[in-house]
């Protein structure tokens, strides 16, 4: 089995850890050379399940992996466009929000452009446990992979995204009848494009709307129905005033705010990021429904203020029990497949919770610098990226804060190393460096 030692291991090659890799290369080249990123997939892609060709990023391209921290960086989105010869055309398009495909390609380009941080593909982490224990102190982690390999590291950064939320009602349906948005593009090909499917999309936010539109367009003989709890589809709240709360500098304010204020901020900011749609999508869907009614060819349906109380397979069809919130009555909706635009689990991801459990911790948070709060007996560090909305604000899962956050994490790692050199910690950087295999 493959085993190796590194100083810093980053789990997941999504935007968060790619921003970290860039920050390492620019701010801490020595540590960068002793760092490894592992990614479960064979390539780098952004939100691969929803990489629909017409979908756009909702954040300015200037909030890329690096520009807000270092506008002169070679890893900027503008340099990416320049290096692939599309800068003129992008400028001419006149937009701040690139296609999702371009962001994804930009991420892959950044990954290819790294010169010091190593990136390994096809490596899915399945567990983390204490690795080195010196004089009763945990000074490193042992990370286990699905392929049976292991990596021992001193510090860890988890940037593995959030866990998909599949409501309990759908848990007993056979897998081939339920598609979560995170796997949409991987699985939509399982259905015959000419089939007269009855497809139900659950949810009323952007991912649900994108699946609704995509299935409507891709399955011209299908009936597609959206079921949502809300009173109807709504647009993103996009005031320039509240958009200031996505500045990386607002993280300090949020982090220092009292619990009631944090709650208010998250509550009032909810529709800036969740449960809203881009204006073009709202218009597309409304006009399509209007035209279908006009021409008597209705295929796109919406059921509002409805709760799906139960889902079961009966003969060859999925039967959904819908509770109408207005009347209190229940009804049945029969379909062939359910697409879930139900988002992500709010609590910490299972991988992080199991790491905490492995060191006897069941409740944890992170410091201002994203370091997991662990008992004093654990000197090895764990940083969590993208899962700290409750302490760092609504932008935490977004691209907006990545560049600055990556710099802050690198700063914290370096500060720790300066301290530990003074303290003559059990394993010095030089020892760790010596233990890292050099590429052939
Ligand atoms: C459909 C959709 C659209 C979005 N659009 C925007 C937008 O326009 N603007 C914006 O700012 N944010 C957007 N977001 C929010 C999104 O969370 C961030 O843009 C960003 O992807 C977060 O980056 P991340 O690196 O934290 O997580 P992710 O992007 O989820 O990346 C995590 C990476 O870790 C890998 N991984 C996971 N588990 C393991 C494991 N066990 N072992 C190894 N590798 C693992 C994954 O394969 C993945 O590559 C969108 C989210 C969705 C779902």
> Quick one: pLDDT at residue 433?
39
Pocket lining: 125 vs ligand 1, CB cutoff 6 Å: yes
Pocket lining: 207 vs ligand 1, CB cutoff 6 Å: yes
C-alpha 3/C-alpha 259 separation (Å) is: 44
Residues contacting 136, CB < 8 A, separation 6+: 377
Pocket probe for ligand 1: among 162, 339, 399, the residue whose CB has the most ligand atoms within 8 Å is 399
C-alpha 345/C-alpha 167 separation (Å) is: 10
Sorted by where each starts, the structural domains of the chain and their CATH numbers stand as 3-162+345-434 (3.50.50.60), 168-236+273-340 (3.50.50.60)
Q: Whose CA is closest to 169, among 380, 354, 311, 336?
A: 311
Q: Whose CA is closest to 384, among 160, 231, 92?
A: 160
Q: Whose CA is closest to 284, among 238, 217, 341?
A: 217
> Quick one: pLDDT at residue 435?
39
Inter-residue contact 157 to 385 (CB < 8 Å): yes
Pocket lining: 124 vs ligand 1, CB cutoff 6 Å: yes
> Quick one: pLDDT at residue 420?
65
> Quick one: pLDDT at residue 434?
41
Inter-residue contact 36 to 117 (CB < 8 Å): yes
Q: Where does residue 3 rank: exposed (0-12), middle (13-18), buried (19+ CB within 10 A)? A: exposed
pTM: 0.94
Pocket lining: 386 vs ligand 1, CB cutoff 6 Å: yes
> Quick one: pLDDT at residue 276?
86
Q: How far apart are the first and last CA of the chain?
A: 19
Q: Whose CA is closest to 248, among 384, 15, 66, 56?
A: 66
Pocket lining: 98 vs ligand 1, CB cutoff 6 Å: no
Residues contacting 33, CB < 8 A, separation 6+: 116, 117
Pocket lining: 60 vs ligand 1, CB cutoff 6 Å: no
C-alpha 371/C-alpha 376 separation (Å) is: 13
Q: Rounded to the nearest whole angstrom, what is the distance from the C-alpha of residue 43 to the centroid of ligand 1?
A: 14
Q: Whose CA is closest to 164, among 430, 379, 346, 344?
A: 344
Q: Rounded to the nearest whole angstrom, what is the distance from the C-alpha of residue 377 to the centroid of ligand 1?
A: 32
DSSP conformation class of 344: B
C-alpha 33/C-alpha 202 separation (Å) is: 45
Atom of ligand 1 nearest to the CA of 41: 47
> Quick one: pLDDT at residue 421?
59
Structure tokens at 85: 């010869």
Inter-residue contact 64 to 403 (CB < 8 Å): yes
Atom of ligand 1 nearest to the CA of 398: 11
Pocket probe for ligand 1: among 10, 397, 400, the residue whose CB has the most ligand atoms within 8 Å is 397
Pocket probe for ligand 1: among 160, 236, 339, 404, the residue whose CB has the most ligand atoms within 8 Å is 160
Question: What are the 10-residue block averages of pLDDT along the chain, 440 residues in total?
Answer: 92 98 98 98 97 95 98 98 98 97 98 98 97 90 97 97 97 96 97 97 96 98 97 90 92 96 93 85 97 98 97 96 97 98 96 95 94 94 97 95 98 85 46 38
Q: Rounded to the nearest whole angstrom, what is the distance from the C-alpha of residue 386 to the centroid of ligand 1?
A: 8
> Quick one: pLDDT at residue 422?
56
Q: Rounded to the nearest whole angstrom, what is the distance from the C-alpha of residue 46 to the centroid of ligand 1?
A: 6
DSSP conformation class of 329: -
C-alpha 406/C-alpha 7 separation (Å) is: 17
As a dihedral over the C-alpha atoms of residue 36, residue 42, residue 44, residue 45, rounded to 10 degrees, the angle is: -150
Pocket lining: 151 vs ligand 1, CB cutoff 6 Å: no
> Quick one: pLDDT at residue 221?
98
Q: Whose CA is closest to 301, among 335, 342, 328, 275?
A: 335
**Whose C-alpha lies nearest to ligand 1, atom 41?**
125
Q: Rounded to the nearest whole angstrom, what is the distance from the C-alpha of residue 47 to the centroid of ligand 1?
A: 6
**Cα 268 to chain center, whole Å?**
22
């Amino acid at each position: 089995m493959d085993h190796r030692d590194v100083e810093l291991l980053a789990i997941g090659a999504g935007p968060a850890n790619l921003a970290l890799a860039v920050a390492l290369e620019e701010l801490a080249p020595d540590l960068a050379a002793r760092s490894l990123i592992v990614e479960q997939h064979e390539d780098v892609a952004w939100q691969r399940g929803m990489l629909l060709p017409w979908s756009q990023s909702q954040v300015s391209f200037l909030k890329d992996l690096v520009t807000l921290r270092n506008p002169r960086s070679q890893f900027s989105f503008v340099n990416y466009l320049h290096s692939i010869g599309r800068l003129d055309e992008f400028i001419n398009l006149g937009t701040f929000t690139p296609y999702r495909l371009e962001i994804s390609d930009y991420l892959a380009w950044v990954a290819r452009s790294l010169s010091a941080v190593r990136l390994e593909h096809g490596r899915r982490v399945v567990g983390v446990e204490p690795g080195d224990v010196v004089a009763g102190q945990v000074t490193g982690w042992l990370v286990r992979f699905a392929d049976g390999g292991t990596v021992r590291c001193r510090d860890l950064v988890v940037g593995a995204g959030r866990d998909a939320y599949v409501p309990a009602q759908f848990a007993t349906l056979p897998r081939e009848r339920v598609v979560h948005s995170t796997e949409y593009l991987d699985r939509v090909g399982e259905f015959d494009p000419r089939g007269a499917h009855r497809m139900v999309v659950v949810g009323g936010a952007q991912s649900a709307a994108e699946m609704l539109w995509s299935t409507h367009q891709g399955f011209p003989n299908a009936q597609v129905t959206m079921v949502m709890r809300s009173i109807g589809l709504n647009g993103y709240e996009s005031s320039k005033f509240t958009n200031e709360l996505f500045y990386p500098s607002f993280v300090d304010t949020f982090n220092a705010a009292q619990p009631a204020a944090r709650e208010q901020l998250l509550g009032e900011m909810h529709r800036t990021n969740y449960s809203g749609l881009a204006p073009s999508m709202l218009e597309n869907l409304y006009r399509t429904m209007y035209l279908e009614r006009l021409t008597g060819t209705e295929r796109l349906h919406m059921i509002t203020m409805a709760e799906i109380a139960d889902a079961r397979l009966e003969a060859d069809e999925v039967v959904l029990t819908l509770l109408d919130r207005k009347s209190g009555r229940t009804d049945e909706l029969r379909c062939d497949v359910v697409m879930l635009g139900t988002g992500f689990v709010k609590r910490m991801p299972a991988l992080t919770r199991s790491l905490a459990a492995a060191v006897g911790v069941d409740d944890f948070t992170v410091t201002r610098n994203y370091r997991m709060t662990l008992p004093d007996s654990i000197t090895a560090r764990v940083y969590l990226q993208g899962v700290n909305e409750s302490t760092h604000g609504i932008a935490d899962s977004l691209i907006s804060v990545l560049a600055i956050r990556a710099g802050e994490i690198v700063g914290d790692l370096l500060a720790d190393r300066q301290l530990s050199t003074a303290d003559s910690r059990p394993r010095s950087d030089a020892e760790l460096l010596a233990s890292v295999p050099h590429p052939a």
